[in-house]
Amino acid sequence: MVNRNLAGDLKREQPKKGALLALAALALVAAPTFVGAQSNGTPPSDSAFGVRIFRPTPLDTPPPISRLTYRANPRSQFIITAEANGAPVRFLVDTGATLVVLTAKDAGAAGIDLRDLVFNQVMHTSNGMVRAASVLLREIRVESFSIREIRAAVLEKADQSVLGMSFLSRLKSFQLRQGTLTLDW
């Protein structure tokens, strides 16, 4: 727009800064929302002010985590009853054990023929050195989930089967905290 000032000279009016700033702010807010919604095909929804609002849908929704929680016994140990190859076994959870370890009795219950085992390895345990035989368990099932093809060992002389890291490391995560063991898969 052109106006004349009091002296009669031509004067060009400057646009109002407040209106320009408001328009720029609206463009900054509306444009990314509109463009983002158009790119993924999400239908718009109407707001109370008659303005169409586009809400993008998430592309990568993580799967829900399945979780089991156990309390420690009075000796601060975690004992879990699970199935090894379909047979019930009471396992002591031991994050310091490299492998799942079965007693001879539990190995027999799990369908492992002890006569076929070769005890040609030595394992260091809390009770000293013990002869062991390597085995591959078909499956360990803990309540509602299972893991297949688990490296394990059968100890020649063992009092307790152990759920070690060859099983635990295949979980999504596990955590020991304040007398609680949490298994996530």
**Each residue of 10-32: pLDDT tens digit?**
555 555 566 655 655 555 555 55
Report the pLDDT value the prediction gives residue 38, as an integer from 0 to 100.
46
Mean pLDDT of 104-122: 97
pLDDT in tens, 32-67: 544 444 444 545 555 555 666 666 666 665 665 799
What percent of the chain has a predicted confidence (pLDDT) above 70? Answer: 65
Give the rounded distance of the alpha carbon of 103 from its chain centre: 31
CA distances to 2, 32, 45, 55 from 51, in Å: 35, 15, 9, 13
Alpha-carbon distance of 89 to 73, in angstroms, equals 17
With cut-offs at 50, 70 and 90, classify the pLDDT of residue 153: very high
The string of DSSP codes covering 158-170 is -SSEEE-HHHHTT
Domains within the chain, CATH numbers bracketed: 2-53 (no CATH), 67-184 (2.40.70.10)
Considering the entire predicted model, what is its pTM? 0.65
Give pLDDT tens digits for 114-133: 999 999 999 988 888 999 99
What is the rounded average pLDDT of the residues 82-105? 97
